[in-house]
């Protein structure tokens, strides 16, 4: 159950972070020619995503506390090597989830670039 929750919370946190980064990039590209409504919309999305990311960070902190409790319980039933294997598994799982999300973001970025290039080529 803990591992499933870890996957969900990390996925949420990474998704919100990447969405927030895209909104921040869009905000940094605004200038005097940007419609006020568009800029206001971006600012509102930025505020919302920031709050949601903070909430997700709180969930992650709670999950970290829960992980310590789970490890404490497992320490009573597992050998030292088994406990180390479990902790290594949790660390690797976390790293792989982060890497997976990063790769998904890179794929999305390259697909957007490819689409933009295809649209810019005259037929």
Q: Provide the pLDDT for residue 74.
A: 94
Tens-digit pLDDT profile for the chain (123 aa)?
888 999 999 989 988 998 998 899 888 888 888 888 988 999 999 999 999 999 999 999 999 999 999 999 999 999 999 999 999 999 999 999 889 988 988 898 899 889 988 888 887
Q: Provide the pLDDT for residue 85.
A: 96
Q: Provide the pLDDT for residue 122.
A: 80
Q: Provide the pLDDT for residue 8.
A: 92
Q: What total of structural domains would you count in the chain?
A: 1
Distance from chain centroid for Cα 92:
16
In sequence order, the 6+-apart residues with CB closer than 8 A to the CB of 101 are: 10, 11, 14, 15, 18
Q: Provide the pLDDT for residue 29.
A: 86
Number of H helices, E strands in the chain: 3, 0
Q: How far apart (Å, rounded) are the C-alpha atoms in residues 82 and 99?
A: 25
Query: By residue range, what is the domain housing residue 84?
Result: 2-120
């Amino acid at each position: 159950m803990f591992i499933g929750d870890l996957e969900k919370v990390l996925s949420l946190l990474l998704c919100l972070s990447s969405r927030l980064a895209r909104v921040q990039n869009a905000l940094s590209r605004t200038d005097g020619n940007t419609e006020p409504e568009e800029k206001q919309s971006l600012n509102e999305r930025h505020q919302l995503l920031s709050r949601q990311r903070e909430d997700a960070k709180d969930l992650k902190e709670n999950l970290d506390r829960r992980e310590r409790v789970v490890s404490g319980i497992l320490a009573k039933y597992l050998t030292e090597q088994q406990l180390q294997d479990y902790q290594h598994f949790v660390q690797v799982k976390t790293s792989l989830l982060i890497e997976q999300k990063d790769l998904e973001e890179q794929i999305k970025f390259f697909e957007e670039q490819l689409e933009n290039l295809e649209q810019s080529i005259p037929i």
